[in-house]
Structure 1
């Protein structure tokens, strides 16, 4: 007798695996989807890549010359992809390299090769 794939069985198994995963991490699903969560280490490559993208996109849109220095803090939010809310230090070349703090929000959907700067403001 051949076993055929069953979408219902697959869905049930996926739910069980996710449930065990959340229990093992002591995190509820509601704490993950939609809520902002702090990024413990903002010096990881992915966060730095997102921050550099934010500065570059802001430079293009606002016709300014900011230069990325570092990420001070960050949070993520799981949506259809991931939102990154980062506080970035950047030097303003037009103001004699005066450093400033900026808050950037970037929406990232890597499986679709999509990344968008949602906001970029001086704080």
Structure 2
């Protein structure tokens, strides 16, 4: 009986470690469909929040590329093409989403130069 309890406890301890290793907690994985409405919504949120913080007038043209990272929540790192007053520019944004709280937070938003766009990983 003690062996059964020991094995049960051991499996309960090891199972979460297996899940973390299988899911790749902390590693960035490509977003396959950047045209997915939820991904676009995250991009629109990032631009909107940046506009509020800086009083700029950017509008999202499209999500060019994206990656996600499982953390306590989900980070989405997106390469965004946006229109400014007279220009079209690229920005990298990171949004932390916690679906169980129905919340999103812009944690990073910065312009990138066009050659950097090709090396976005």
Aligned to 1:90: 82
- RMSD between aligned residues: 2.3
Aligned to 2:26: 34
**d(CA) in 1 for partners of 2:92 and 2:22?**
25
**d(CA) in 2 for partners of 1:40 and 1:113?**
23
**d(CA) in 2 for partners of 1:68 and 1:114?**
20
**d(CA) in 1 for partners of 2:64 and 2:102?**
26
> Which of 16, 34, 42 is residue 50 of structure 1 equivalent to?
42
Q: After the TM superposition, which segments of 4 or more aligned residues of structure 1 sit over 3 Å from their partners? A: none
Q: Deviations over 1:23-73 (max 9, x none)?
A: xxxxx8255210011111111111101000000000000110001100110
Unmatched 5+ stretches in structure 1: 1-7, 23-27
Aligned to 2:95: 106
- Secondary structure at the aligned position of 1:64 is classed as coil
User: TM (normalized to structure 2)?
Assistant: 0.75
> Which of 81, 85, 108 is residue 119 of structure 1 equivalent to?
108
User: TM (normalized to structure 1)?
Assistant: 0.74
